[in-house]
Amino acid sequence: MATKIKKTILYVLLIALALMCILPFWLMIVNSTRSGVEITHSFSFLPGKSLRDNWVVLFDYVNLFRGLFNSVKVALPATLLTAYFSAITAFGMAMYEWKGNNLLFRIIVIFMMIPGQLSLIGFYNLCQKLHLIDSYIPLIIPAMASPGIVFFLRQYVKATLSKALMEAARIDGASEIHIFHRIVLTIMAPGIATMSIGAFIGNWNSYLVPLILLNTPKKMTLPVMISTLNAATDLQKNQGAIYLGVAISVVPIIIVFCFCSKYIISSISAGSVKE
């Protein structure tokens, strides 16, 4: 009996904690449907009727769909590049013997531990020299080299791909690159998917680098665009519109999460698995 009561208390606490994770988002959705006056006067847990008005106020100031579109234009190719080139690099490192393989592995491990702020200024300086300021190229191309993902996929190939299978393919006359495209990619798919979703969310949410690189308002990605709401005094008067703007930026990620939460959670656990 005592166990049962304790167990109930535990469930109540766990659910309370879960509510604390959801409540701010719920309030966000509720407030994005209420007028500025309603919001300043009282709170509510139920939606109001001013969604359309807030929408008009918000989009008068900023076209969030452009930001959404820009974010897709950056995050999607970056993620695809990360997926393909991390996989092929991991494959080359795990299944072949070549000079410098170990050295590359060591350098990758070191760079996994180096904080991003260390390269920030040098990176900006490089982009200046290459005339890549205000371009999407420095937001996309560097995704080809993601040390952490190569590290993970290298372990993954080693664990899942057998040399016998590759030998069999070779006897059938397949070239090495052919083996990679036809056989290895399929076998690696779950690992690649796990890493890609993590990479996509990282790209999608990235703020500091797009902030320093992009100058033209039209080119801004969603997080940078959201941050410009700070300057909008008209919007500050109408909190409903601010909530709506934040809600629009949050919804795509929540949709991705609903479909891929399993992959996302295994990508987090994967990070801590030791060799």
Partner 1 sequence: MAVAKKRMKNRNNAAYLFVLPFIIVFLIFSVYPVFRTLFLSFTTYKGYGEPEFTGLANYIRVVKDKFFWRSLYNTVKMWSLNIVLQLGLAFLLTIVFSDIKYKIRGLAIFRAVYYLPNLIAATSVAFLFKTLLDWKYGTVNQILLASGLVSEQINWLGQKSTAWAVVSVIQAWMWFGNSFIILMAGVQGIPNDYFEAAAIDGAGRWKVFGSITLPLLRPILLYVAVTSLIGGLQLFDLPFLINGVAGASTAGEPGGTLQTVVMYLYKFGFETRQVGFASAIAYTLFFIILFISVMEFKFLGGKED
Footprint on residues 35-74 left by partner 1 (CB under 8 A): 39-40, 42-43
Q: Which stretch binds partner 1 (CB under 8 A): 2-10, 53-61, 156-164, 187-195?
A: 2-10
Query: What's the CA gap between 76 and 18, in Å, rounded?
Result: 31
Task: Give which of 64, 13, 47, 41 is closest to 224, Cα–Cα.
Answer: 64
Q: Which of 1, 2, 16, 21 binds partner 1 (CB under 8 A)?
A: 21
Residue 3, amino acid: T
Burial class (CB in 10 A: 0-12, 13-18, 19+), 196: buried
In the region spanning residues 229 to 258, those forming contacts with partner 1, defined by CB under 8 A, are 229-231, 239, 242-243, 245-246, 249-250, 253-254, 257
Q: Answer for the pair 79, 202: CB distance below 8 angstroms, yes or no.
A: no
Stretch that binds partner 1, among 48-56, 58-66, 186-194, 267-275 (CB under 8 A): 267-275
Residue from 76, 95, 185, 187 binding partner 1 (CB under 8 A):
95
Coil vs helix vs strand at 153:
helix
26 counts as binding partner 1 under rule CB under 8 A: no
CB of 98 to partner 1, least distance (A): 5
Please report whether residue 156 would count as binding partner 1 according to CB under 8 A: no
Q: Which of residues 161-190 bind partner 1 (CB under 8 A)?
A: 175-177, 180
What DSSP letter does each residue of 72-96 carry, written as one string?
HHHHHHHHHHHHHHHHHHHHHHHH-
Q: In angstroms, what is the minimal distance from the CB of 104 to partner 1?
A: 7
Least spacing, CB of residue 177 vs partner 1, in Å: 7
- Considering only residues 5, 52, 97, 215, which one is a binding residue for partner 1 as defined by CB under 8 A? 97
Nearest to 185 by CA among 90, 265, 273: 90
Other beta carbons within 10 angstroms of residue 245's beta carbon come to 27
Q: Contacting partner 1 (CB under 8 A), which of 14, 56, 168, 189?
A: 14
